[in-house]
Structure 1
């Protein structure tokens, strides 16, 4: 009887859920589970013990489902920018501070004034904002100096799970580059920026591992509490958007991933960093790819899935549970799919970060008429977010010196809305695919950990890729009808962009009779 290959495990510490899965080395998923991501007394903190419990509960549920087959390696991915100070004994000091916490905004503004927004972006790949850990550390130095003095290291959300399993404090370059204190090209912490946070030094930040390099191995104590085998290698797989894109096969220059969820992220793979000044002006960040083989240009839209939730809460509040989404889909699909629905939604609940950053941008509905109903608004929300995703993709292609992407792969939980993915394919004039794995980030973490299980090189230099070739999750191509493609692509250039970006594409159409010109 042929022995079965050892499994690989992946954990994704997400904003809404903590997800776990077990897969074969081929990428075939054999078990999956999830737990709600716990929050504390505010929407901007996660109790550290509760977060660890949620991760280990999801992992234990997977292990119970495979009848004693233990993974040969575990990879951990998750949200970037969230993190917690650790004391000299490795214990969290307070809760995990969420990426969404707006409190450090004044410190981000001070950093921008001291070093310049473009200068920070050119050195670190990110623009100053409240969510970057460097701003959080500056806030600690100014407002909680005693806490900062006790801090001996910093652990991101995924790093915290790895530390609990291995006793080691380590991270990955794709997390480090989101701190605004790491140089993605030279692969080092930047002392001149760390000094702004009360004299913080590189030795008080985590060791940065190469892609696929184990951060450590499961301790005997952690093995007893989780069901893992002691000595199992554990890898910090990196930033969830990048890891999910890699799992979906988005690995070569010119390939694009559109990660669809509560928030949306679009990233383009490139062999070299983009031209820094134009990327900064467009609100695009850049950094190393998940496997370390190249770079990515990244842009986010905070309101994509959030607007679907808003619509369901505001207009379908009497409908409960999953039935709300079924009703939302029914409304959307009650209209013809091959033509724009009429109203145009500018999909910005609270500002636009990219392209052409505009903090004052807000949700707006144009061309709404008395004959329109809730079904038109529901569909217009999907159309507006799809148009915005194309705008981000077009902008990234230009920044990377290409006329258009080679392909766009859609991934994430929102791909379950087939009307939404169909709109993406109709609006974007490029090959579009949908990743079949709903938990691509967790799968990518498991496959990246496979380098540790098979004795990958694990170079000490995190700028050197150490990940061998690995299978990609299967995907399905989308082919819109010629009529749908022509109608929606014309609408993008003739209506959406003139309304949302009037400075570059002014709307020259005459007003409709009886309507105010927007």
Structure 2
């Protein structure tokens, strides 16, 4: 019956897996990625080929039974490519905040609200366009010898054998250059930033067969030449697909250093609210409203270290033994994510007194990250109902954390036991690309990663709402105080 191979080009790790048509991962391999602000694009290709080769060598499946390859990747990372097809400069990571001032250029030309309506994105250093504009401004000679700007997904697919450069629409929706409703490059935005289509990859739907494995890539990986290559998607959209989150009402909640909430919608909003952004889903006819909690797991690790504990498990034991006692923790240790997207926001404990101890602080931190998750969900608005959260990620294992997330958000949680749901999603796209499923939505509903425990809210709704009102008041008070302090400094 055969298997497919999925590849996940993450920020810290490159992973590959073999997956059967039930969505079950049979074998895996991984290598550390270069997670710098800039990195060698050729080395990234070499790592991708090596992680595939290790999987083919050790995965226990003959190469002839590996029927297709699909790629998921970190989003918005850009590779400048010269006329000879080689990288003309280092790849520029999505994390690189040095492009912050360039982020305002498209919005300044078109107006911030219009830019948001077209792209689904607020102006930000995160998007590919900001990297390209900074590159043009600071490295004009390198820009002149660069024929194309492609995404990491496109770059690795090209190395595997795709002719030219092809991107999937889900990844393209994080460039800041895509008309998100039309799912194609926006000529209006390209004109505003003085770029042309021929300097970008060709856009196709996720799950589209785009080529065949070359003889060179076959020699490097051990796969058979001619193996179908399939356009994948961005890591978060592939994770949502792997979790079966393709229809409104259920959202994916991926818990890690940050937390990302991904809510499928049937049409893009005219303008996403606040610090939310709208991307194209890898499932056809769906878009995703995404919100980010900048320091979810990071807050837990910070608190453990600050309290002299060996790790988050010890912090959870301490928190379980106490009560917050009216103390609230606002977890803006890395600024505020959605809905404000305020890099200058700061974290705080509110309501501390002499009667409080380490148990109080630990409990307040756990409650704070859960209440901040509710604040993100509430900020989506009535038009984006979320009844259930499908939870994945490395920070999703603690019983207290899961209980607080259910109780304080008021949502039922479905806990996914599979740690590599991005690989599952990419594999479902590979199966779609070779015709095993009619489309990616059908694949996800039939074969998504199994959900384990289901955790319903147990806290009284009135108590939950009182806790949330107090937390939201603390956030508002801190923001008002910060704005007032900034005003006093500015007038002095």
> TM exceeds 0.5?
yes
Match of 1:100 among 88, 95, 98: 95
State the Cα distance separating 1:341 from its structure 2 match: 6.1
Deviation string, structure 1 residues 436-467 (Cα, Å, up to 9, x no partner): 21110111001111112336679xxxxx9897
Matches within 5 A, 1:287-298: 287-298=279-290
Match of 2:395 among 414, 420, 424: 414
State the Cα distance separating 1:399 from its structure 2 match: 4.0
SS state at 1:432 partner: strand
1:132 alignment counterpart: 127
Matches within 5 A, 1:151-230: 151-168=146-163, 169-197=165-193, 199-230=194-225
State the Cα distance separating 1:396 from its structure 2 match: 2.0
Deviation string, structure 1 residues 251-307 (Cα, Å, up to 9, x no partner): 11222111111221112111122241xx24x21111321112212111112221222
Contact preservation (8 Å) 1:497, 1:505: no
For 2:305 and 2:280, the matched residues in 1 are separated by 38
For 2:297 and 2:33, the matched residues in 1 are separated by 17
Deviates more, 1:10-19 or 1:187-196: 187-196
The answer on 1:345 being equivalent to 2:329 is yes
Match of 1:267 among 241, 262, 265: 262
The answer on 1:381 being equivalent to 2:365 is yes
SS state at 1:416 partner: coil
For 2:342 and 2:414, the matched residues in 1 are separated by 30
State the Cα distance separating 1:121 from its structure 2 match: 0.5
For 1:480 and 1:210, the matched residues in 2 are separated by 36
2:490 alignment counterpart: none
Match of 2:473 among 498, 502, 505: 498
State the Cα distance separating 1:334 from its structure 2 match: 3.2
For 2:13 and 2:208, the matched residues in 1 are separated by 26
State the Cα distance separating 1:352 from its structure 2 match: 1.6
The answer on 1:56 being equivalent to 2:44 is no
Deviates more, 1:467-476 or 1:94-103: 467-476
Matches within 5 A, 1:311-330: 311-316=303-308, 324-325=310-311, 328-330=312-314
The answer on 1:79 being equivalent to 2:74 is yes
Deviates more, 1:489-498 or 1:20-29: 489-498
For 1:345 and 1:196, the matched residues in 2 are separated by 43
State the Cα distance separating 1:100 from its structure 2 match: 1.3
State the Cα distance separating 1:167 from its structure 2 match: 3.9
Contact preservation (8 Å) 1:340, 1:488: no
1:510 alignment counterpart: none
SS state at 1:230 partner: coil
Alignment gaps of 5+ in structure 1:
459-463, 507-518
RMSD of equivalent CA atoms: 2.7
State the Cα distance separating 1:109 from its structure 2 match: 1.9
Matches within 5 A, 1:16-31: 16-31=12-27
For 1:258 and 1:10, the matched residues in 2 are separated by 22
The answer on 1:13 being equivalent to 2:4 is no
State the Cα distance separating 1:395 from its structure 2 match: 2.2
Question: Residues 340, 457 of structure 1: CA spacing in aligned structure 2 closer, same or farther, 3 A cutoff?
Answer: same
Matches within 5 A, 1:390-469: 390-400=374-384, 402=385, 405-454=386-435
Alignment gaps of 5+ in structure 2:
482-492
2:454 alignment counterpart: 478
For 2:220 and 2:95, the matched residues in 1 are separated by 31
Deviates more, 1:306-315 or 1:73-82: 306-315
Contact preservation (8 Å) 1:127, 1:283: yes
Contact preservation (8 Å) 1:413, 1:439: no
Contact preservation (8 Å) 1:331, 1:374: no
1:141 alignment counterpart: 136
Question: Residues 21, 361 of structure 1: CA spacing in aligned structure 2 closer, same or farther, 3 A cutoff?
Answer: same
Question: Residues 388, 481 of structure 1: CA spacing in aligned structure 2 closer, same or farther, 3 A cutoff?
Answer: closer
Deviates more, 1:341-350 or 1:425-434: 341-350
For 1:88 and 1:467, the matched residues in 2 are separated by 38
1:304 alignment counterpart: 296
Question: Residues 65, 357 of structure 1: CA spacing in aligned structure 2 closer, same or farther, 3 A cutoff?
Answer: same
For 2:156 and 2:460, the matched residues in 1 are separated by 45
Deviation string, structure 1 residues 185-233 (Cα, Å, up to 9, x no partner): 1222123322344x32101100111121022211010011011221112
SS state at 2:198 partner: helix
State the Cα distance separating 1:496 from its structure 2 match: 1.1
Question: Residues 347, 466 of structure 1: CA spacing in aligned structure 2 closer, same or farther, 3 A cutoff?
Answer: same
2:342 alignment counterpart: 358
For 1:485 and 1:60, the matched residues in 2 are separated by 53
State the Cα distance separating 1:52 from its structure 2 match: 2.4
2:484 alignment counterpart: none
Deviation string, structure 1 residues 356-383 (Cα, Å, up to 9, x no partner): 3434311111123344444443443332
Deviates more, 1:337-346 or 1:386-395: 337-346
Question: Residues 505, 103 of structure 1: CA spacing in aligned structure 2 closer, same or farther, 3 A cutoff?
Answer: closer
Contact preservation (8 Å) 2:11, 2:34: no
State the Cα distance separating 1:180 from its structure 2 match: 1.1
SS state at 2:195 partner: coil
Runs of 4 or more, structure 1, over 6 Å off, are: 455-458, 464-468, 503-506
Question: Residues 229, 107 of structure 1: CA spacing in aligned structure 2 closer, same or farther, 3 A cutoff?
Answer: same
For 2:303 and 2:474, the matched residues in 1 are separated by 22
For 1:8 and 1:451, the matched residues in 2 are separated by 11
State the Cα distance separating 1:310 from its structure 2 match: 2.9
